[in-house]
A and B are shown apart, each in its own frame.
Chain A
Amino acid sequence: MAERQHLKDHFIEQRIFHNRSIFAIFFTLILFGILIFRLFILQINNHEHFTTLSQNNRVSVQAIPPTRGLIYDRNGIILAENLPSYTLQIIPEQTTIDIDILINELSLLINIREIDIKKFKKEVRRKRRFEGIPLRFRLSDEEVAIVSVNLHRLPGVEIKAQLSRFYPYGKETAHVVGYVGRINEKELKTLPVTNYSGTNHTGKLGIEKSYEALLHGQVGYQKVETNVRGRVQRVLERHNPTPGDDLYLNLDIKLQQVAIEAFNGKRGALVAVNPENGHILSMVSMPDYDANLFVNGIDSKTYNALNQSWERPLFNRTILGSYPPGSTAKPFFALAGLETNTIQPDHQIFCPGFYQLKGKAHKYRDWKKWGHGKTDIEKSIVQSCDVFYYDLAFKLGIDKMHKFMTAFGFGQRSGIDMLGERSGLMPSKEWKKRVRKQVWFPGETVIAGIGQGYVLVTPLQLALGTATLANGGHYFQPQLVSAIQRKVDRIPRPVTPQMIRKIPIKRQENWDQIYHGMTEVIHGARGTARRLNKPGMRYKIAGKTGTAQVFSVAQDSSYKEDELEERLKDHALFMAFAPADNPKIAIAVIIENGGHGGSVAAPIAGQVIAAYLDQFSDEELKRPAQKIPAIPSGQPSTPSTPPDSTAPAYSLKSIQHGGHNHG
C-alpha cells in the first residue's frame, strides 16, 4: 500500500514537474519575446531618434573668436594693435588645494589686485570646472618667469599666451580711438550672442565702439567631440573665423602729438578738418588719459581719480563739450548779413562802446570800453567789434540767424562716425517756445549776435563750420575713418566723403570780403591774432579769435576757492583755415577758462597749421582743392574699385549716449 502510494506520488510529481517545465519553457520564450520586442522598438523603430540624440551628446560646437581689426592713422602708423600677452589662469578642476590658498600663494609671487580676484570669482560661477579662468592679464616677462619656476607647487595654474589690445599712443588717441574693455552684463544683452560667443572684449568708446561691427569680425567655430564632462577629445571640423576689418583713420598721429604738445597741459579741445572732404585730421581733448588702463579692467581707485577729477579727463570735449562760440561766430553773421541783403558791403556803424535797443535803458557793452568808432565789416572782424554785431543781429532777427547758421551745421549733430556727439544749440523763436515755453525777447537776439546767450557749439561743429566757410559752402559729413581694409585682400577701400549740402552763394564778393577780414585778423596790423603772423610764412591764415563768458559753474559741484576763480575765467577760442586762398586745413581751438583767444588759443592752432602745411610743397599749397577722398599713403589707390565697394559697408548706429560710459 505504501509502495503503491509512493509510486502514485512519484507519478503525480513527475506529471506536475513535466507541466511546470513546459510552463518554464513558455515563460522563457515570453520573457525573451518581451526583451526582443523592446530592443526592436529602440534599435529599429526609433533608431534615427536615438542616433540624433547620440550625435548631440558627443558633438559640441566651440566658438573661435576672430582677431580684432587693427586701426592705423592716415600714414599707416598703428594706433590699435593686438599684442601677444601672457594671461595667468586657473583651472578649478586641476587644483588640488583650496583656490583661496592658491590665490594667496600666487599673490606672494606676483601682484594680484583686489579687482582681479573679484572678477575671477565672478567668472568661476559662470564657467565649467575644466575651463581656464583668467586671474591676471598681461604678465610681465619677469612675472612669467617667477610663476613658471613655481608652477610645480601651483596645481591648476596655467600661463596662456593670447592676444590683447594695445594702444601704442594710448594717451594721444584715447578720445578718438577709444578703447575696448571686457564685455559687461548690459552689453551681453545687446551684442549678437552667436558672434560674440568666444569674445571677451568689445569696443567701449570712440572708434572702437562706433566701428565695433567691422572691427570685431565673424566668429569661427569648431565641432569637437567631447566626453561627458565636456573635455575635448578631438576636433571634427574647423571653420576659421573671419578677422575684423582694419581701419585707416584720417587722423595724423604726428599732428595729434604736435597739438597735444601745444596745449601744454591746458584744458580744452582742438579739431582740425580737411575742408576739401570733411576728413578729421586731428581731434584733441585735454586732459587725456591712457586708454590702455581700461582694456583689462581698470581698478576702482584709478578710475575714481579719473572720473571725479574736476578737470574731467574722461570727458571728450570735442564732441560732448558745448561752449558759447563768442566772437568766432562773427564772420558767419557778417556773411549772413551780406548774403541776406540785410547789410551792404560798404555797411558801417559807429561804435560808442555800447549798444542800446530803442526805448530800452539797458546798455550792451563792447569789450572795448571806449568803442571802436567808425566800423565797417572788415574792421568788425579784425578788431572784433561787439556793437557792430549787436546791431547786425537786431537787423537780421534770430530766425534768419538760425536759418543761416544751421546750414553751416550749427545746432545739429554732424553725423561724425563716432557715437554720442552733442548737437549744440542755435536758438530760434520756435525753439524757445517749444523747449522753454517762453516768448523770444529782442535782447536775446542782440547777445546771440556775439555768440553768447543761448548759442552753444561743440569744438567739432566750430571746426566744420569753419571748413564750410573756407571751402565756399560745401558742408561735408565729418569722417574719422578714411578706408576699410578686409584681411582677405588687404586692399583698403576708401570711404567716400559725403557732401551733405551746398550752401548757395549769392555773391562771391560777399564771401571774399569775409575771407579778407579773417585774413586781416592774423596778417593785419591791428588783428586780434596778429602774433601768428610770422615773417617768411609760405601761406596766409584766415581766422577769428573769440572769448566766451562763463556764466555759471554748476551749482551742485564742489570746488575750492582758487579753483572757482579759475573756473569763472573766460573760455579762449580760435577758428581758422589755411592757406587763406586755398584752404587745406580748418581748425577750431577752445581753451577752457583760458582768457583771450588771440593770446592762448590762436598759438596752438598756428602750430598745428604749420605742422600740417609743412608737408606740402609750395606748388601743392597753391594747387586748387581736389575733391577726392584721401587714401592712406603707401597703399595702392584703387580707382577701378566698383562704386558699391567704395561706399562704407557700415552705417553709424543712431544710438546716442550722453556722456562717458565706463565699462
Chain B
Amino acid sequence: MASQTSSQSLFFRLHIDVTLLMGLIALVALGQIILYSAGGESSALMQRQAIRLGIAFIVMLMIAQISPDTMRRWSPILFIIGTVMLIAVLFFGTKALGAQRWLDLGLFRFQPSEMMKLAVPMMLAWYLSGRHIPPRKLHLLLALVILMLPVLLIAKQPDLGTSLLVTCAGLLVIFMAGVSWRLILGFTFAGLAFTIPMWLFLMRDYQRQRVLTMLNPESDPLGSGYHIIQSKIAIGSGGTFGKGWLNGTQSHLEFLPERHTDFIFSVFAEEFGFSGILLLLSLYLFIIFRGIYITTQAHGTFARLLGASIVLTFLIYIFVNIGMVSGILPVVGVPLPLVSYGGTSIVTLMAGFGILMSIHTHRKLLAH
C-alpha cells in the first residue's frame, strides 16, 4: 500500500495520471490488434502506427509537464499562429484528395486544422475564464466570432469532419461556461435555420451527396451509398461474438472501403461482434469518465472549461465515427479516436490527454 502511494506520487511528480494512462494504453493496444487485421495483416502498417503512437505518447507526456497557467497565457498566441497558418493553407497549401489541408514546411507536412482542434477551445477558455461566469451576451457574441473564424477557414479547405469537431470543441467550452438553456435552444433553432443557406452555398457537392445517401444509402448501392451498405453488412454479420480475429470476410475480401482508417470500427464489429463492441465502448467510457472526473477536480475556470471540452470532443469523435459507420450519421470523415490509422489526429488527441494530465497533476501545486 505504501509503495503504491509512493509510486503514485512518483507518477504524480512526473505529471502522469496513471488511471488515464492505463485506459489509454489498453485502448491503443486493442487498436493495434484491430489495425493488424484491418490493414490486411501488414506488420509494416502496424509498425508505422506504433511509431506514431510512441511520438504521440511522448507529446502527451511533454505537454503534461506544462502547467495550465502557462497554457492559458500562451493560448491567444497559439490561436493567432493557427489562424494565420489556416489562411496560409488557403493560398499555399498542398492539395490532396480534392482538399487543401496541408502546409509543406520543407521537413514535414503540417495540418494547421489539427492544431486548431486544441487551439480553439484553449482560446475560448482563455477568453471566457477572464470574463464573468456565466458569460454575458456581448462576450458570448465575441466568443462565437472567435470560434467561427477558424471553423469557416477549415470548412473552406474543405474539411467537414475537422470543422465539425472544432465547432464542437468550441461550443462545448461555451456550454460548460454556463450559457443559459434558453440561449442554447435559441441557437439550436438558429443553427437549424443556418443549415439551409449552408446546404445551398457552403457545402460541396460530395458533402451534400454524403448527407443524401446517409438518409437513404440503398438509393445508390454502387455509388456513394456503397460505403455505408458494406459497412452495415460488416457490422451486422458480426453478430454476438463476431467472425473471429482476421476472419472478417467483408474486410479481408476488400468489400469494406477505408478499412484501416475511417471504417476500422466495422472491421472490429465484424470480427469481434457485439461483445467485442461492448468491451471497446467500455474502454472509451472509462477514459471519458476519468476525464470528466479530472475536470470536476480541476482548479481554475480555464482548466475546467478546457478539460471538459477536450473530454467531450473525444466523446463526439467516438459518437460521430461509430454513428457514421453504422449508418445513423452522414459519412463526414472522422476517424475512430486512437484506433484508426493516421498520424496527425492521434498526436492531437494525445496532446489533449496531456493537457488533462497537466490539469490533474498541477492541481495540488497550484493549491499551495
Complex Cα spacing A54 to B232, Å: 10
- A:15-41 near B, CB below 8 Å: 16-18, 20-21, 24-25, 27-28, 31-32, 34-36, 38-40
Which chain B residues border A229 with CB–CB below 8 Å? 254
Q: Does B166 contact A (CB under 8 A)?
A: no
Q: Does B155 contact A (CB under 8 A)?
A: no
Q: Does B160 contact A (CB under 8 A)?
A: no
Identify which of A45-53, A362-370, A578-586, A593-601 touches chain B. Answer: A45-53
Q: Does B195 contact A (CB under 8 A)?
A: no
A317 to chain B, nearest CB (A): 55
B116 to chain A, nearest CB (A): 22
* Binary contact track B139-180/A, C-beta < 8 Å → 1, others 0: 000000000000000000000000000000000000111100
Q: Which single member of B178, B253, B301 contacts A57 (CB below 8 Å)?
A: B253
Complex Cα spacing A34 to B326, Å: 11
Which chain B residues border A512 with CB–CB below 8 Å? none
Q: Contacts A31-B315, A58-B249, A227-B253 hold; do A47 and B236 have CB atoms under 8 A apart?
A: yes
* Chain A, interface residues (CB within 8 Å), range: 35 or more
Q: Is the CB of A54 within 8 A of B250?
A: yes
Q: Which single member of A24, A35, A58 contacts B255 (CB below 8 Å)?
A: A58
Complex Cα spacing A228 to B328, Å: 24
Q: Contacts A12-B133, A57-B255 hold; do A43 and B273 have CB atoms under 8 A apart?
A: yes
Q: Does A44 contact B (CB under 8 A)?
A: yes
Q: Contacts A31-B319, A50-B233 hold; do A42 and B253 have CB atoms under 8 A apart?
A: no
Q: Is the CB of B249 within 8 A of A57?
A: yes
Complex Cα spacing A214 to B293, Å: 80
- B:228-243 near A, CB below 8 Å: 230, 232-240
Q: Is the CB of B232 within 8 A of A20?
A: no
- Of listed B177, B238, B284, residue having the most chain A CB within 10 A: B238
* Binary contact track B278-303/A, C-beta < 8 Å → 1, others 0: 10010011001100100110000100
Q: Does B123 contact A (CB under 8 A)?
A: no
Q: Does A225 contact B (CB under 8 A)?
A: yes
Which residue on chain A has the smallest CB distance to residue B256?
A228
- A:204-258 near B, CB below 8 Å: 225-229, 233
Complex Cα spacing A503 to B328, Å: 85
Interface of A is mostly: helix
Q: Contacts A16-B178, A35-B326, A39-B269 hold; do A46 and B304 have CB atoms under 8 A apart?
A: no
- B:296-332 near A, CB below 8 Å: 296, 301, 304, 308, 311-312, 315, 318-319, 322-323, 326-328
Q: Is the CB of B289 within 8 A of A25?
A: yes
Q: Contacts A43-B273, A58-B249, A228-B253 hold; do A21 and B326 have CB atoms under 8 A apart?
A: no
Q: Contacts A17-B304, A57-B249 hold; do A43 and B133 have CB atoms under 8 A apart?
A: no
Q: Which single member of B240, B281, B296, B311 contacts A44 (CB below 8 Å)?
A: B240
Q: Does A9 contact B (CB under 8 A)?
A: yes
Q: Which single member of A35, A40, A228 contacts B319 (CB below 8 Å)?
A: A35
Complex Cα spacing A28 to B269, Å: 21
Complex Cα spacing A227 to B256, Å: 10
Q: Is the CB of B178 within 8 A of A13?
A: yes
Q: Is the CB of B255 within 8 A of A42?
A: no
Which chain B residues border A39 with CB–CB below 8 Å? 235, 269, 274, 277, 322, 326
B367 to chain A, nearest CB (A): 14
Number of interface residues of B (CB under 8 A): 48
Which chain A residues border B364 with CB–CB below 8 Å? none
B226 to chain A, nearest CB (A): 10
Which residue on chain A has the smallest CB distance to residue B133?
A13
A617 to chain B, nearest CB (A): 71
Which chain B residues border A227 with CB–CB below 8 Å? 253-255
A188 to chain B, nearest CB (A): 25
Which chain A residues border B255 with CB–CB below 8 Å? 57-58, 227-228
Complex Cα spacing A284 to B238, Å: 68
Complex Cα spacing A226 to B322, Å: 27
Which chain A residues border B239 with CB–CB below 8 Å? 43-44, 47, 51
Q: Is the CB of A50 within 8 A of B232?
A: yes
Q: Does B132 contact A (CB under 8 A)?
A: yes
Q: Which single member of A17, A38, A46, A233 contacts B253 (CB below 8 Å)?
A: A233
Q: Does B134 contact A (CB under 8 A)?
A: yes
Complex Cα spacing A54 to B318, Å: 25
Which chain B residues border A57 with CB–CB below 8 Å? 230, 233, 249-250, 253, 255
> How many A-B pairs fall under 8 Å by CB?
132
B148 to chain A, nearest CB (A): 22
B307 to chain A, nearest CB (A): 10
Complex Cα spacing A34 to B235, Å: 16
Q: Is the CB of A51 within 8 A of B240?
A: no
Which residue on chain A has the smallest CB distance to residue B230?
A57
Which chain A residues border B250 with CB–CB below 8 Å? 54, 57-58
Which chain B residues border A43 with CB–CB below 8 Å? 235-236, 238-240, 269, 273-274, 277
Which chain B residues border A17 with CB–CB below 8 Å? 176, 178, 296, 304, 308
Complex Cα spacing A47 to B236, Å: 5
Which chain A residues border B277 with CB–CB below 8 Å? 36, 39, 43
* Binary contact track A42-83/B, C-beta < 8 Å → 1, others 0: 111011011101100110000000000000000000000000
Which chain A residues border B176 with CB–CB below 8 Å? 17, 20, 24
Q: Is the CB of B249 within 8 A of A28?
A: no
Which residue on chain B has the smallest CB distance to residue A15?
B178
Complex Cα spacing A182 to B13, Å: 83
Q: Contacts A13-B301, A43-B273 hold; do A54 and B234 have CB atoms under 8 A apart?
A: yes
Which residue on chain B has the smallest CB distance to residue A13?
B133
* Binary contact track A617-643/B, C-beta < 8 Å → 1, others 0: 000000000000000000000000000
Q: Contacts A21-B295, A50-B235, A57-B249 hold; do A34 and B254 have CB atoms under 8 A apart?
A: no
Which residue on chain B has the smallest CB distance to residue A53?
B233
Complex Cα spacing A540 to B240, Å: 91
A15 to chain B, nearest CB (A): 9
Which chain A residues border B285 with CB–CB below 8 Å? 28, 32
Complex Cα spacing A408 to B239, Å: 76
Complex Cα spacing A31 to B230, Å: 24
Which chain B residues border A25 with CB–CB below 8 Å? 289, 292
Complex Cα spacing A49 to B238, Å: 11
Q: Is the CB of B253 within 8 A of A9?
A: no
Q: Is the CB of B308 within 8 A of A21?
A: yes
B21 to chain A, nearest CB (A): 20
Complex Cα spacing A158 to B187, Å: 66
Complex Cα spacing A17 to B178, Å: 7
Q: Is the CB of A35 within 8 A of B323?
A: yes
Q: Is the CB of B178 within 8 A of A9?
A: no
Complex Cα spacing A226 to B285, Å: 38
Which chain A residues border B284 with CB–CB below 8 Å? 32
Which residue on chain A has the smallest CB distance to residue B305?
A17
Q: Which single member of A16, A27, A32, A47 contacts B312 (CB below 8 Å)?
A: A27
Complex Cα spacing A204 to B174, Å: 81
- Of listed A24, A31, A57, residue having the most chain B CB within 10 A: A24
Q: Is the CB of B236 within 8 A of A50?
A: yes
Q: Is the CB of B254 within 8 A of A21?
A: no
Q: Is the CB of A24 within 8 A of B292?
A: yes
Listed in ascending order, the chain A residues whose CB lies under 8 Å from chain B are: 9, 12-13, 16-18, 20-21, 24-25, 27-28, 31-32, 34-36, 38-40, 42-44, 46-47, 49-51, 53-54, 57-58, 225-229, 233
Q: Which 6 pairs show the lowest CB-CB distances between chains A and B?
A: A50-B236, A16-B178, A54-B237, A43-B274, A42-B236, A13-B133
Q: List 16 A-B contacts (CB under 8 A).
A: A12-B133, A16-B133, A16-B134, A16-B177, A17-B176, A17-B296, A28-B292, A35-B318, A42-B232, A43-B240, A50-B233, A51-B236, A53-B233, A58-B250, A58-B255, A225-B253
Listed in ascending order, the chain B residues whose CB lies under 8 Å from chain A are: 132-134, 175-178, 230, 232-240, 249-250, 253-255, 269, 273-274, 277-278, 281, 284-285, 288-289, 292, 295-296, 301, 304, 308, 311-312, 315, 318-319, 322-323, 326-328
A18-B296, A20-B308, A21-B296 are known; give 13 further A-B pairs, CB within 8 A.
A16-B177, A17-B308, A35-B318, A36-B277, A43-B239, A43-B274, A54-B234, A57-B253, A57-B255, A58-B253, A58-B255, A227-B255, A233-B253
